Structure 1
């Protein structure tokens, strides 16, 4: 599913959640180029049947927090603790965003390649160039931090992509993506920090069913609304 900049900026939270819940990993010994390293991430991601993780989110200066759940090949759910009760679900066919503050439900039919799969990561390789941000060696996650990661940066190949660049920090010990930071052409920064992963729990499709709260205002095909 390819989104233009106008739609992304207008509906950023739901779209960013759909695109950037790929909290998976790979740290391949002997990889010498950033592109090969990133391909290893995609290949490793393809081996996961499901996962769950806690994610701290910051959009500009607005903090959020959620639990993200994924099941191969294309199901995703985010249950928010901040803002409380906010929910985003993608069942492989439809994207549902429940926004409790406005008692609104946004829905969108969204078939096609989901960027939270290995196929989606391959699409990022196609539309972005990949390089090491700090070289192949381990560097602190933040300045002065004891947590060491490998950092990649992806630059868009054309102006049609929703993000100017995407940064990924990969933990070389747990082999999981620790942080994703994406910057739009307008300078809005989306940051996702993943922790407390649980892998291959044997989840079923029932986990991704969602009953829309009664009384909520429903807006269909919101990505393409005026």
Structure 2
């Protein structure tokens, strides 16, 4: 009887040992980034507070997004500055210069209107950058001042034609929402995007992406590149 019990325990131990690796599936950085993309692909709209830091310059405001490619940013710093993309035209209002920068976007370049923190932006990141964990798959504090747990990814460009040499994403592991993006340009300039107070799927109407700039502002068309139309 004792031998049978020992034999049964050995079998049970062996089975549990063999099944343990299958129960703890390893999530690679690429798979984790794909999960983040799946979450953003399911988002119909979102609103968040946005802070952009570049060198000594800070910009703060609110960003709203409506799938698939409507984006609007209203800034409090600089006050009254607005960036709007309606899927066809990118428009930037610079109140300091009473100027409207207007760019028509056509063809495949339309996808550039999507921010990194959108379904289209994440598709481009997975296509053009190679992801890896910065410190591993386990959550770590966002920074020394913010204890919010995040998973940190480092994305390195697959070819030299990309405008950013490296991109770092800080992702809340449960919601899979991006809280911070750190993008380093080829000129070694660091641009940081911080997202907070994120609200999802509240039914943002399309009309909120319409923008009537001041009539006194000067309009500068195709300030980035010439339109193909």
1:87 paired residue number: 82
Compute the displacement of 1:30 (Å): 5.1
| 1:57-97 CA distance string (max 9 Å, x none) | 10122111010000001000000000000000001110000
Q: How does 1:92-103 map to 2 (within 5 A)?
A: 92-103=87-98
- Aligned pairs (5 A) from 1:1-226: 32-111=27-106, 112-114=110-112, 115-116=114-115, 117-143=118-144, 145-224=146-225
The alignment partner of 1:206 has SS state of: helix
Deviation digits for residues 1-50 of structure 1 (CA, Å, limit 9, x no counterpart): xxxxxxxxxxxxxxxxxxxxxxxxxxxx9561000110111111111110
For each residue in 1:78-117, what CA deviation from the matched residue of structure 2 results, as whole angstroms up to 9, or x when unmatched? Answer: 0000000000000111000000011110000124224444
Q: Cα deviation per residue 1:131-166 (whole Å; 9 max; x = unaligned)?
A: 101110111211364222100011011111000000
Structure 2: how far apart are the matches of 1:98 and 1:56? 18
Per chain length, whose mean CA-contact separation is higher, i.e. which structure has more relative contact order (CA < 8 Å, sep 6+)? 1
Secondary structure in 1 aligned to 2:214?
A: coil
Asked whether the 8 Å contact 2:60–2:78 carries over to 1, the reply is: yes
Residues 183-221 of structure 1 deviation map (CA, whole Å, 9 limit, x = unaligned): 001011110111001111111210100112111111000
Q: Distance in 1 between matches of 2:62 and 2:42?
A: 21
SS at match of 1:212: coil
| Matched position secondary structure for 1:101 | coil
Q: CA RMSD in A?
A: 1.7
Whose Rg is larger?
Answer: 2
Name the CA distance, whole Å, in 1 between partners of 2:164 and 2:205: 32
Q: What are structure 2's unaligned runs of at least 5 residues?
A: 1-23
Preserved CA contact (<8 Å) 2:39 2:176:
no
**Count of residues paired in the alignment:** 197
